[in-house]
Structure 1
Amino acid sequence: MAVKTALIGLGIMGRRMLEHMVRHNGYEPIALWDPDPEACAQAVRLAPDAAIATSAEAAMDAADLIYLSCPPAPRKAYALTAAAAGKALFLEKPLGVDVAESEDLVDRLASFGVPVAVNFTQAAGSALTDVSKAARSGVLGDVLGADIVVTYGAWPRAWQKAADWLRFRDEGGMTREVISHFLFFSERILGPLTVVWARPSFPDDPALCETHMLARLETSDGRPVTIMASVGGAQPDRQELTIKGSRASRRITDFYVDAVSDGGAFTEIRERPEDPRATSLKAQLDDLRLCLDGKTNRLATAKEALRVQKLVEAMLAGKP
């Protein structure tokens, strides 16, 4: 049986999820809501059988699963309303920007006992699954640490500009939106991390988000995760995570391109999918059904998302 689903937040991420839920036989999007009429109109074109609700609460009333793709600020209130009504939740990250508020959210969601997962998009992908297996089996040798490199010509990127909040310090920025994914991946391989030092750089306008991030994080036994991120200059996007092993290392580029090196040039492990986004979202939605059915799945838990949020906010606050 397809799960009746409501989608709250119909910006670019919400519409992408809607498009792939429509394709998936495990989901039936029945209710949609966004404060922007144009976003609603675009969403209805993707899912003509779904109804635009009069409010977020009305959309949630009609469904069994609530997908929240709204900006971080209202996410907690919507999530708690849904959970109190016994609805399952699929949340975009971050959980929020205030750590104490998110700690309270995670505790209260646990008390309701509803299925909850967070959409770190690599969680169910072949790259994280295969690198995790290689790390556990010893194929990589000793796992020594990780490097994260992210560079953009501009932020937000062209396809993100409709989500204007992404350019502001209060809720946006590449550390929350992109580096968080690679922190989640790194913790899955290396274990819990702590921020040792972090140096963000911000523009003169105090309202705008960071343009650079340099940071060192470490595991409990001192293995480093090094981060270098910047915005500016005529260049293509670069999004790269390298898990470094004593025998072999794995480099994940653009979230899904998995390559291996034994000391020489990195070589891609598998043929690239024809539609990487479709492949990724289908894997996430397949595992979400497992989560909804109480079965073992690879999706990020609320506790994992909270750990990542704490790292991100510590980095943005800076640590000498």
Structure 2
Amino acid sequence: MPATDATLALGIIGAGIMGERLLGAINGAPDSPVRVSAIWDPAPEALARIGAAFPAVPRVADAGAVVAASACVYVASPPASHLGYARAALAEGRSVFCEKPLAIDLAEARHFVAQAGAAGAVNFPFASSPGVATLERWIAEGAVGTMRRLTIAVEFARWPRPWQADAARWLDARAEGGFTREVVSHFLFLARRLLGPLEGIAGRIDFPVSGRSERAIAVTLKAGGIPVTLTGRVGDTDADDHNTWTLAGEAGAVRLRDWAIAERLGSDGRFEPEPDAIPNERLRPITLRRQLEGVVRMARGEPHRLATFAEALAVQEAVETILAL
């Protein structure tokens, strides 16, 4: 399919949470910069659910039919299948927008990135987040000054989170799942993009249940030379999903709270949100729209802010180092 359509022809492989979420964002915006050209999932019940919710979206017989119908392919399947679908799309001259992580095998991910070039990107929404843009503006204006430390903390009442129950089979497995891959990776991406390379990883990780994903991490590392403290835990909070990314320096501190809320430290020692900040449930459609606009620019070979394959690989390297502690 030509990439010069007025709206980009986007095919979706995977009709789970992420595929349906992006599909909803596209169909909910009459001026969307993309159109869904095809969707496929190996589970008939998943496709049936999509057909009931979005009857106008073409459901096709297999992944090859998605590639054939599209200019860009969104790979939203479980991680072990990402690179197979991505390679198939790239081989046919399509661009790729892929969920993270790129793969469950680092050697395979490294080989893919070395061969894939710039014809793709990875779905780290912080690349398009208005909350992150506010943090960047504050940092540029001197709100932090000389950076001293970064603190990342994530907490969950249970894992997987309630809305992920249908994907628990792989989200709570050692090979593909866990909150470090699924959630912490986003905050490591943000650290790498705003501060610099991730290195010097040390600490501990707890796997109390055989065959299941981690339940706690306590890690130190550096991002662009800035000391980072990273903690994560399951079961010691009532919150389904609570997180903070806090950058402190000699002039003050800024943070991103609960995925979306940009806050800065006031003279009274309390963090105050940016006046226009909105919670993640309301911010998500805005961020998704920005992601889609980035997908169009990426597919057309234009500059964009989406996470590159190389950035995603660097984050995956850090995540798998943590999981091997």
Could you state the TM-score of these two structures normalised by the residue count of structure 1?
0.93
Cα deviation for residue 141 of structure 1 reads 0.3
* Structure 1 residues 219 and 241: alpha-carbon distance in aligned structure 2, compared to 1, 3 A threshold: closer
The amino acid across from 1:88 in the alignment is S
Shift of the 271–138 alpha-carbon distance from structure 1 to 2, 3 Å rule, reads closer
Unaligned ranges ≥5, structure 2? 1-5
Matches of residues 21-36 of structure 1 in structure 2 within 5 Å?
Answer: 21-24=26-29, 25-36=32-43
Say which of 107, 128, 133 aligns to 1:129: 133
Counterpart position of 2:227 = 224
Aligned residues: 313
1:292 positional shift: 2.3
Q: Which amino acid aligns with 2:321?
A: A
SS in 2 for 1:258: strand
- Residue 297 of structure 2 is matched in structure 1 by 290
User: In structure 1, what is the Cα distance between the partners aligned to 2:223 and 2:15?
Assistant: 37
> In the alignment, is the contact (CA less than 8 A) between 1:97 and 1:309 conserved in 2?
no
Q: Distance in 2 between matches of 1:204 and 1:8?
A: 32
Q: 1:217: how far off?
A: 0.8
One-letter amino acid matched to 2:125: T
Equivalent residue, structure 2, for 1:181:
186
What is the CA distance between 1:137 and its match in structure 2? Answer: 4.2
Assess if the C-alpha contact under 8 Å between 2:134 and 2:262 holds in 1: no
Structure 1: distance between partners of 2:79 and 2:306: 19
Compute the displacement of 1:150 (Å): 0.6
Contact 1:143/1:190 (<8 A) preserved: no
Quick one: distance in 1 between partners of 2:129 and 2:229?
23
* 2:160 aligned counterpart, secondary structure: coil
Tell me if structure 1 keeps the 8 A contact 2:131–2:277.
no
Which residue of structure 2 aligns with residue 56 of structure 1? 63
Secondary structure of 2:74's match?
A: strand
Note the C-alpha offset of 1:198: 2.5
**C-alpha distance in 2 between matches for 1:272 and 1:220:** 28
2:238 to 221, 235, 239: 235
Whether 1:38 aligns to 2:37 is no
Q: For the Cα contact (< 8 Å) 2:121–2:307, is it kept in 1?
A: yes
- C-alpha separation in 2, matches of 1:84 and 1:42: 30
CA separation in 1, counterparts of 2:101 and 2:81? 12
Amino acid at match of 1:170: A
* Structure 2 equivalent of residue 248 of structure 1: 252
228-237 or 63-72, larger mean C-alpha shift: 228-237
**In structure 2, distance between residues paired with 1:252 and 1:33:** 35
Q: CA deviation at 1:262?
A: 4.3
Pick which of 1-10 and 308-317 moved more.
1-10
Q: Which moved more, 1:62-71 or 1:235-244?
A: 235-244
The answer (yes or no) to whether the contact 1:4–1:64 under 8 Å persists in 2 is yes
Pairs within 5 Å for 1:1-320: 1-24=6-29, 25-110=32-117, 114=119, 116-164=120-168, 165-205=170-210, 207-219=211-223, 221=225, 223-236=226-239, 237-262=241-266, 264-273=269-278, 275-318=282-325
Q: CA deviation at 1:234?
A: 4.8
Percentage of matched positions with identical amino acids? 35
Alpha-carbon RMSD across the aligned residues, in angstroms, is: 1.6
Q: 2:235, 2:200 → 1: CA distance? A: 25
Q: Which SS does the other structure have where 2:128 is aligned?
A: coil
Q: Single out whichever of 47-56 and 68-77 deviates more from structure 2.
A: 47-56
Deviation >4 Å, runs of 4+: none
Deviations 1:56-89 (A, max 9, x none): 1122111111000101111111101100101011
Letter in 1 for 2:235: G
Give the distance between the partners of 1:231 and 1:314, measured in 2 at CA: 20
Conserved? CA contact 1:132–1:188, under 8 Å = no
Query: What are the Cα deviations for residues 277-301 of structure 1, in whole angstroms up to 9, with x where unaligned?
Result: 2122112112222222322221111
Which residue does 2:3 correspond to in 1?
none
